[in-house]
Every structure is written in structure tokens, then in C-alpha cells.
Amino acid sequence: MDTIIRLEQLTKSFKKEEVLKGIDMEFEAGKIYGIVGKNGSGKTVLFKIIAGYIKPSSGRVFVEDKEIGVDTDFAENMGLIIETPGFLTQYNAYKNLAYLAAIRKKIGKEEIRQAIELVGLDPDSRKKVGKFSLGMRQRLGIAQAIMENPDLIILDEPMNGLDKHGIRLVKELLCQLKEQGKTILLSSHYAEDMEVCDEVYEMDEGCLTCCRGLL
């Protein structure tokens, strides 16, 4: 399979704290990768570096053979949620996604509605996002990540705040996206969230190691 993401000796430090320690890793296209680890282990920092949101202290990141921060500032054709999704609380789900979709002008009304429906929300609901539960916001964040049909999807703790039904729905959606050839990176605190993953890695004290026992 083709490599879609390549990390070479990736490190990141904040002042004296070393958050990532010399990570070498390749992610193949069309697979679901899980990264499990406790808060502060480096999962979110790793995702932000891959996305181009922050720069590594040293090392290199390639997405589809383009070096992030050199050939391009941000990976193209990527959808993501990192940390708690931020939305305009005075608007409903559809209006929030329509506002974001207008930035790149890649999709229209039908794609927005479909993304909202795929995560189990109602695109016609007038309920303001400010009245949403944490789980509903998470679902809307996932809809935002997938609405432009990206090849690479990065989901930072997508199961956070979801009930059992919501978790099952998201897992089914991830499997559907994989069948479409998407590459998905997801993180969680919990090993049970990793059932849909082809490969699972543990992030611990800035190091990434394979966890075959979780598969």
C-alpha cells in the first residue's frame, strides 16, 4: 500500500518538557490507525504537528509526499477535529457547517446535509449548537471533518461524550469511510474504542509503540 503519512525523527518540546521523542512512523493509505494514551501523553500534539497547526522542534512530517512546513503549510485533502470542536453557538448545526464550507467552496447544501445525517443529527433542526450536549457537539465535529470528502481524516478523541448508541454509530461510520479508501487516525483514552482499527499504538511519555494486544 502507498504511504500517506511519514514521520522522521519527530520531536517536540515545550520549554524543558519533551512531549514527543524521536518518532519514526509510516501510515499506509486506506487503514484505520488508533493511538491510545492518557492525557498529556502527546497524542494531540502529534496530531497538531501532522495537520500543520504547530511546528516540531526537530524532525520532518510528510503527507502525500509533501513536507509540512516546507512544501505546504497544511496538508491538503484532510478533515480533522482536534480537542473540543468550536462552533458558533447562536446557530444550528446546518448553518455552522455551511459557514465553514463557504471558506473553501468545495461542497454545497447536499453534501452538508448528508454529513450531518451520517452522524445521526437532523440537518433541519433549528436547535442552536449552544444547546447541544457534548456528545452532539462531537457528532457535529465529525460531520465537519468528513463533509468535504477528504482522503485523510484525523479524529482526536471522537468518542468523547458519546453514549453507547453514539459510539456504535461512529464506529460504523468509520468502517464505511475505510471501505471508501479513506485513511483515518483516531485517538482515545480507552482501548475498547480501538475495535475498528487495523493497527493500534500506545503513546506513553512521548514514545509511540505498537500494541498488538489491543487488536
pLDDT (tens digit, 9 = 90+) per residue, 64-103?
A: 999 999 999 988 899 999 977 789 999 999 999 999 999 9
Q: Which residue has the higher pLDDT, 39 or 150?
A: 150
**Residues listed for the chain:** 215
pLDDT (tens digit, 9 = 90+) per residue, 138-185?
A: 999 999 999 999 999 999 999 988 999 999 999 999 999 999 999 999
- Is 94 among the domain residues? yes
- Is 49 among the domain residues? no
Domain that holds residue 92: 87-145
- Is 110 among the domain residues? yes
- Is 82 among the domain residues? no
> What does the pLDDT read at residue 45?
95
- Is 118 among the domain residues? yes
Domain count, the chain: 1
Report the pLDDT averaged over residues 25-34.
Answer: 96
- Is 21 among the domain residues? no
Per the confidence metrics, is the pTM higher than 0.75? yes
> What does the pLDDT read at residue 215?
47
- Is 104 among the domain residues? yes
Contact 61, 78 (CB under 8 A): no
